[in-house]
A and B are shown apart, each in its own frame.
Chain A
Amino acid sequence: MLAQKLHLLRHNFLSFVSSRTGSDLTRRQYDVIVVGGGHAGTEAAAAAARLGAETLLITQKITTIGALSCNPSLGGVGKGQLVREVDALDGLCGRAGDWAGVHFSILNRSKGPAVWGPRAQLDRERYRQFIQSELLSTPRLTVLEGSVDELLVSQPNPEEPGHHRVTGIRLVDGSHPILSSSVVLTTGTFLSGSLFMGQTTSPGGRIGDVPSCAGLSYTLKETLGLRVGRLRTGTPPRIVKESVDLSLAQLQAPDKQPTPFSFLNTHTRCKPEEQLPCYLTHTTPGVETVVRESVHLNCHIQQDTKGPRYCPSIESRVLRFPGRRHQVWLEPEGLTSDLLYPQGLSMTMPPDLQLRLLREIPALHRAEIRTPGYGVQYDFVCPTQLTPSLQVKSTQGLFLAGQINGTTGYEEAAAQGLWAGVNAGRTALSLPPMALSRTQSYIGVLIDDLVGRGVTEPYRMFTSRAEFRTYLRPDNADLRLTPRGFEEVGCVTLRRYEKAVSVRDGLQEALMALQSVALSSTRWREKLGNISLSENKSTTLNGLDLLQYKDVSFEMLASAFPECLSPYFEYSQRLKIEAVYRPHCEKQSREMERIRREESLSLPSDMDYLSLPVSLSQEVREILDRVRPNTLGAATRLPGMTPAGIVQLLNYVLRTGQRNRHTEHRNQSSQKEGGKGQLCASNIPISQ
């Protein structure tokens, strides 16, 4: 498959060029228009097209589609889980990572499979190639180069909640409008973006690209009245590889055997021996001195009055945690690139000082900078104004995904993009919107946190945000999401579905086989040699019980019962993981059930909380009015909400039967989720 890709790319390049200008468009009306060609935009466009929607992707520059504008890597702890889930729903980034990766490693190897973090360093060029060729070979997807000037809105459909309805967009070149049923905005840092370096600031969202989105900003803020906030981010200088003394840094080798991100791939494009190393080095007291001396020349840092809790730049690191060594990773930018990416050295001071700072680090004492680091400040739309389908509550058909919602990171953007694309497609095809549960996926956790709680700093995924972390594992993302993605959502292709189903059935059989072999612990000891079992002699244990033990592997059991277990060798790692976490997941199933039920109870989005005739305190009314939670689950997680308040609310809603069609749809889909979607969750019936 991978070998064909390049051929495809060349083949498709012609049609690609032909769709570059607006006048060449074959149609003026699409089901879905996606604005932006970053991680969110590409996933959104591909997902909408997979669903069967005629989709148009509009981007400023076709050549930057799929560009990695910051770090040349994908995945990590928490983020790797997102990549696996996007892949399980047939998204692009997992396969792109396998195609473009040049250094693969599973982080957190020693800490338990639930928190393993699949990660790869990427070749920027290959990543872009893959994404571009993939998009161009996607049926029903057209790519157009241009800048969107205006979002077209009209009166809402009275049967659905909302004050406006999106009808399409108009391009900057003033040409006639392009119409659509849904629009997905993934404009990243380009909403009122400004770039910072030293004391100079200039408008823009990414260096080298023209500033844009002024018209869009206006529509969002003025016409639609959306609340926006301002966030900042930054990127480090890129260093000429030749100028670095790598002998003074610590070599970090990749895994000997690369593990692919995608459930479809058995190996990565990069051969194990072709992988590139990373290097680790540390800051010195000299770095701190340069930062302190340059603070007065650094607008970005000076304005950092109410910064995030974490440290986005080297400046904030040394100012907040002085007198410490900080890690700097020197990462390859690709197989043929002559640059290194210094992860951990994001900075916004003037370029000459950036050079001085770098050279305070021994390995970088002769370093040359190719492009200096800079900071970006940009507007984001407060995501509490979105529904769990990522649609703007007030505007039918308008979806937002990625940094525009206040997140940071490729993986977070891709995850939202995919889900926004799915729902934009569904809306265009007159299907009800869908939500992902936080009990089922990290994508669900991400979206629920965003729309339920909002953000005060760029939102990044951590495993500690997921209360069901031991169930939401990277190894079982396919079982959790792929069947549902095919059967209900429609974003998964048949090929992937069939593969996931065969894996599911295989695992199921293997688990039954394991449970069918039962011996007393004495007999197990005889069979497997000297293993330490805590149970007393007479206890009977089956294979699955035994597999929970640290020293017992599936291979050991299979050698004891070859006829019964050897057919399942290919699943040995997954079976081991399943055995270890199973008892724990069972214990959590009650809590999962509760959260799922709450998520399935929607609150009408047009509810007038301020005058609701129930006994609610003014304080609670105001909280509800401001946040307008989508579901009862979201309402219970609001700070300041009281138990009695929730019950009053629920009683009122049930009594008046105020739920409109939209909400009923969501109820149905969520209930379904409890059925088919719940693959791996132990579904113990509530027997009270």
Chain B
Amino acid sequence: MLPCTSWGLWRSAILTLKTFRASPSRRGLCIPTRAVCDAETIFALSSGHGRCGVAVVRVSGPASSMVLRNMAGLTQALPSPRTALLRRITDPQSKELLDRGLVLWFQGPHSFTGEDSAEFHIHGGPAVITAVLQALGSLEGVRPAEAGEFTRRAFHAGKLGLTEVEGLGDLIHAETEAQRRQALRQMDGELGRLYQDWGYRLKRCLAHVEAFIDFSEDELIEDGVLNQVDSSVRQLEAEIERHLKDERRGERLRSGVQVVIAGATNAGKSSLLNTLCQRPAAIVSPIAGTTRDIVETSLDIGGFPVLLSDTAGLRDSSDSVEREGVRRARQRVEQADLTLVVVDSTQLPPDPQLVPAFLQEHLSTVLPSPSPEAGMEAASDRVLLVLNKSDLVPEEQRERTEGELRESTGLPPACFLSCYTSTGLEDFLTVLQSRVKTLCGDPLSGAPSLTQARHRAHLQQSVQALIQYHQYRDQDLALAAEGVRLALTHLGRITGRVGAEEILDIIFRDFCIGK
């Protein structure tokens, strides 16, 4: 669904490389007289979103120098390329001071992307980052980058080596995966429902306009179809605008690395949560199925923000409340950056040689079936196995099992641990911390503020496109319809792409169209 977002951009880059030479200057009727600049200017937070001292925001594209001038108050000359300069960074509209930080200017082609680029090294607090990103988004011709867009441009400019090019497929996959996870999180809940609803209504509007264009001369398209579209479009426009203005209405974005504890019932998941946050946040009992809903708690692990969730034990249940809990648990696992799969060590096969296969089997029941190309490799980066209740397993057997697990391949790292006695806790924390650190340093694991900025940009463009509908409504319905189409494309960047066949489905469902 969402991977489509950056897809068009990628394709065009790759294809441009191929047909690079085929752009002779041509004379033709419609050649624009103005030089229209094709490349838009993009920005992104290039450092991770963890608690870091300095955050780096990168800007690339023809408007980079304008951005630098406007935000760093450089009225005269630009700084000499690749030289850091300490500046006051201000909001270009309100002139309000956002931060003091280093700015750098890279004149194309001597930059990562080969285009004119700029970097802002600002303080790492979320408030500062958000303010700077929003200020950037308010500049004309500047928009948040899609996943992988910087790399795409670098590729395009021939800045990537052959081996990097060959790895592109994996890279795109990783980026779209990260974006998908991030989107799943954002789309979960009220905000998601809101966008889906807009998408649905917009689709209907478009279908009805298209029906009116293609069929009203031959078929009986009821009077007033267009009037209905008019008012629906106006309503949508107002709703999206209100949403954009009222920032409080946006849900609090869950920030931090999403770590989810999952596993069978009574494996000790809630005990693990309590152990990690050093307080009894979740109820623990020997009764299987004690935890039914998700218990969330914010933690600081090695200086990085972590949102830890405990979930209901996974089992088939006839109890509808528990079934819902299991559904939520599975959903949460799908959205997780890191999943801690808790296993009751006493349930492991007594023969250590059989343990790897057993765990492999067990993982496949807990984790979502991997997306087509991810495979186990990708999953193992995002999973830790916690073998709980190690105090109930004989020492000798545990050691042999550990040896066996070290030998085996294809399994995520496994740690023996006893939440009861805290044995093994320190080793486990070391592993967990290094994993969280990797995830935090990776900008791909999703900075919510950036996603939010992307959404805002697309929503704004949606509204602009809907205004086009009204502008052309009486003059040219074909152009008016393009407005709705465009609005839907932008919304589709958030909720998923809409194809021509889907529109035809609605047309044929809502109207009686003959041969």
In the complex the two chains form, is B508's CB within 8 Å of A310's CB? yes
Q: What 0/1 pattern do residues 26 to 54 of B give for CB contact below 8 A with A?
A: 11111111001111000000000000000
- Complex partner residue of A469 from B30, B168, B478, CB under 8 angstroms: B478
B172 touches A687 (CB 8 A): no
B29 interface neighbour in A507, A515, A675, Cβ under 8 Å = A507
Please name all residues of chain B whose beta carbon is closer than 8 Å to the beta carbon of A688 when the two chains form the complex: 16, 38-39, 115, 153, 156-157
Query: B214 interface residue, CB < 8 Å from A?
Result: yes
- Which of B173, B214, B219, B478 is in CB contact (< 8 Å) with A112? B478
Which single residue of chain A is at the shortest CB-CB distance from B509? A309
Q: Is the CB of B217 within 8 A of A76?
A: yes
B: residues with CB less than 8 A from A are 3-4, 6-8, 10-12, 14-16, 18-19, 22-33, 36-39, 62, 115, 153, 156-157, 165-166, 168-170, 172-173, 176, 210, 212-215, 217-220, 372-373, 472, 475-479, 482, 500, 503-505, 507-509, 512-515
B29: nearest residue on chain A (CB-CB)? A680
B373 touches A326 (CB 8 A): no
CA distance A360 to B172 in the complex (A): 63
Q: Give Cα A470–Cα B479 distance, bound, in whole angstroms.
A: 7
- What residues of B have a CB within 8 angstroms of the CB of A464 in the complex? 210, 213-214, 500, 503-504, 507
Q: Would you call A617 an interface residue if the criterion is a C-beta within 8 Å of the partner chain's C-beta atoms?
A: yes
Please indicate the chain A residues that have their CB under 8 angstroms from the CB of B28 in the complex.
Answer: 678-683
What residues of A have a CB within 8 angstroms of the CB of B168 in the complex?
Answer: 647, 651
For the A-B complex with A111-B476, A327-B219, A643-B6 known, give 8 more contacts whose Cβ atoms are closer than 8 Å: A108-B213, A463-B214, A645-B372, A646-B11, A678-B26, A683-B31, A687-B39, A688-B157
CB of A686 within 8 A of CB of B10, answer: no
Taking CB as reference atom, which chain B residue is nearest A70?
B515
A645 contacts which chain B residues (CB < 8 A)? 169, 372-373
Whether the Cβ atoms of A115 and B213 lie closer than 8 Å is yes
On whether the beta carbons of A311 and B514 are closer than 8 Å, the reply is: yes
A648 to B26, CA, bound (A): 33
Q: Cβ of B15 and Cβ of A594 under 8 Å apart?
A: yes
Assess whether A632 is interfacial by the CB under 8 Å rule.
yes
Pick 27 A–B contacts, CB within 8 A, sort by A: A77-B218, A110-B477, A111-B212, A115-B478, A311-B514, A312-B515, A324-B512, A325-B220, A326-B220, A462-B214, A465-B500, A467-B500, A578-B29, A578-B30, A585-B30, A598-B11, A643-B7, A643-B176, A647-B172, A679-B28, A682-B31, A683-B28, A684-B36, A684-B38, A685-B23, A687-B39, A688-B153
In contact, A508 and B29 (Cβ under 8 angstroms): yes
A112-B477, A464-B503 known; A321 and B166 CB under 8 Å? Answer: no
> Which chain A residues (7-34) contact chain B, with CB distance < 8 Å?
none
Contacts of A687 in B (CB 8 A): 37-39, 62
Q: Which 3 A-B pairs have the closest CB atoms?
A: A617-B372, A112-B476, A309-B508
* Contact assessment for B8 and A311 in the assembled complex, using a CB-CB cutoff below 8 Å: no
What B residues does A676 contact at CB under 8 A?
Answer: 26
Interface string of A662-684 (1 = CB under 8 A from B): 00000000010011101111111
Query: With contacts A643-B172, A681-B28 known, is A601 near B214, CB below 8 A?
Result: no
Q: Report the minimum CB–CB distance from A652 to chain B (whole Å).
A: 10
Closest A residue to B12 using CB positions: A594
Q: Is the CB–CB distance between A594 and B8 below 8 Å?
A: yes
Q: Tell me the complex Cα distance, A297–B228, Å.
A: 41
Contact residues in A for B62 (Cβ distance below 8 Å): 687
Evaluate contact between B26 and A675: CB separation under 8 angstroms: yes
- Name A559-610 residues within 8 Å CB distance of B: 578, 580-582, 584-586, 590, 593-594, 597-598, 600-601
Could you say which of B16, B214, B482, B507 has the most chain A C-beta atoms within 10 Å of its C-beta?
B214
A632 to B12, CA, bound (A): 11
Partner of A309, one of B3, B16, B472, B504: B504
On chain A, the number of residues with a Cβ less than 8 Å from chain B's Cβ atoms is 94
Q: Which residues of B contact A111 (CB under 8 A)?
A: 212-213, 476-478
A597 adjacent to B38 (CB under 8 Å): no
Minimum Cβ distance to chain A for residue B31 (Å): 6
Across the interface, which residues of A come within 8 angstroms of B217, CB to CB?
A: 76-77, 107-108, 117
Q: Does A230 contact B (CB under 8 A)?
A: no
Specify which chain B residues have a CB less than 8 angstroms from the CB of A234 in the assembled complex.
Answer: 515
- Is A498 an interface position by the 8 A CB rule? no
A494 to B223, CA, bound (A): 48
Other-chain residue from B11, B213, B373, B472 in contact with A642 (beta carbon distance below 8 A): B373
Q: A326 CA to B511 CA in the complex, in Å?
A: 11
Q: Which of A462, A511, A681 contacts B504 (CB 8 A)?
A: A462
CB pair A643–B10 under 8 Å, yes or no, is: yes
The answer, among A115, A515, A582, A632, for a CB contact under 8 Å with B477, is A115
Which A residues lie at the B interface, using CB under 8 A? 76-78, 107-108, 110-115, 117, 233-234, 309-313, 317, 320-321, 324-327, 329, 343-344, 346, 408, 460, 462-465, 467, 469-470, 479, 504, 507-508, 511, 515, 550, 578, 580-582, 584-586, 590, 593-594, 597-598, 600-601, 614-620, 632, 636, 642-648, 650-651, 654, 671, 674-676, 678-688
Residues of chain B within 8 A (CB-CB) of A110 are: 477
CB distance A600 to B479 under 8 Å? Answer: no
A310–B37 touching, CB < 8 Å: no
A685→B514 contact, CB < 8 A:
no
Q: Which residues of B contact A511 (CB under 8 A)?
A: 29
Beyond A309-B508, A688-B38, is A594–B11 a contact (Cβ under 8 Å)? yes
Evaluate contact between B30 and A650: CB separation under 8 angstroms: no
Are A636 and B29 CB-contacts (below 8 A) given A590-B38, A642-B3, A685-B38?
no
Contact of A463 among B8, B27, B31, B213 (CB under 8 A): B213
Report yes or no: B479 in contact with A311, Cβ–Cβ below 8 A.
Answer: no
- B8 with A644: CB separation less than 8 A: no
Say whether B10 contacts A647, CB under 8 Å: yes
Q: How far is the CA of A370 from the CA of B88 in the complex (A)?
A: 88
Pair B19/A619 contact, Cβ less than 8 Å: no
* CB-defined contacts of A343 to chain B, threshold 8 Å: 218, 514
Question: Could you tell me if B508 and A681 are in contact, using CB atoms closer than 8 angstroms?
Answer: no
Which residue of the partner chain A has the closest CB to B17?
A654
- In the bound complex, residues from chain A placing their C-beta under 8 Å from that of B14 are 647, 650
Residues of B within 8 A of A601 (CB): 15, 18
Decide: B30 and A597 in contact? CB cutoff 8 A. no
Measured CA separation A686–B500 after assembly (Å):
27
Q: Smallest distance from the beta carbon of B343 to chain A beta carbons, Å?
A: 28
CA distance A465 to B500 in the complex (A): 6
Which A residues are in CB contact (< 8 Å) with B514? 310-312, 317, 343-344, 346
The residue in chain B whose Cβ has the minimal distance to the Cβ of A550 is B475
Cα–Cα distance between A650 and B172 once the two chains are bound (Å): 13
Give the residues in chain A near B507, CB-CB below 8 Å. 464
Q: Which residue of B lies closest to A473 (CB)?
A: B478
Q: Which of A115, A467, A636 contacts B11 (CB 8 A)?
A: A636
Tell me if B38 and A686 are in contact (CB < 8 A). yes
Chain A's nearest CB lies how many Å from the CB of B492?
Answer: 13
Contact A671 B31 (CB under 8 A): no
Q: Given the complex of chains A and B, what is the CA–CA distance between A462 and B217 in angstroms?
A: 13
In angstroms, Cα B328 to Cα A58, docked, is 67
Which A residues lie within 8 Å of B504 (CB)? Answer: 309, 462, 464
* Closest Cβ–Cβ distance, residue A505 to chain B (whole Å): 10
Q: Are B19 and A76 touching (Cβ within 8 A)?
A: no
Closest-by-CB residue of B relative to A233 is: B515
Min C-beta distance of B502 to chain A, whole Å:
11
Q: How far is the CA of A348 from the CA of B252 in the complex (A)?
A: 61
Contact partners of A671 in chain B: CB under 8 A: 19, 22
Bound-complex Cα distance A113 to B476 (A) = 8
Evaluate contact between B210 and A651: CB separation under 8 angstroms: no
- Find chain B residues with CB under 8 A from A344 CB: 514
From residue A242, how far is it (CB to closest CB) to chain B in Å? 26
Give the residues in chain A near B4, CB-CB below 8 Å.
Answer: 643
Q: Which of B4, B36, B170, B176 has the most CB of A within 10 A?
A: B36
- Give the complex CA separation of A550 and B169 in angstroms: 49
Q: How far is the CA of A344 from the CA of B509 in the complex (A)?
A: 18
Question: Which of A309, A586, A617, A650 interacts with B32 by CB under 8 Å?
Answer: A586
Q: Which of A324, A326, A469 has the most CB of B within 10 A?
A: A469
Q: Indicate the member of B157, B220, B504 with the most A CB atoms within 10 Å.
A: B220
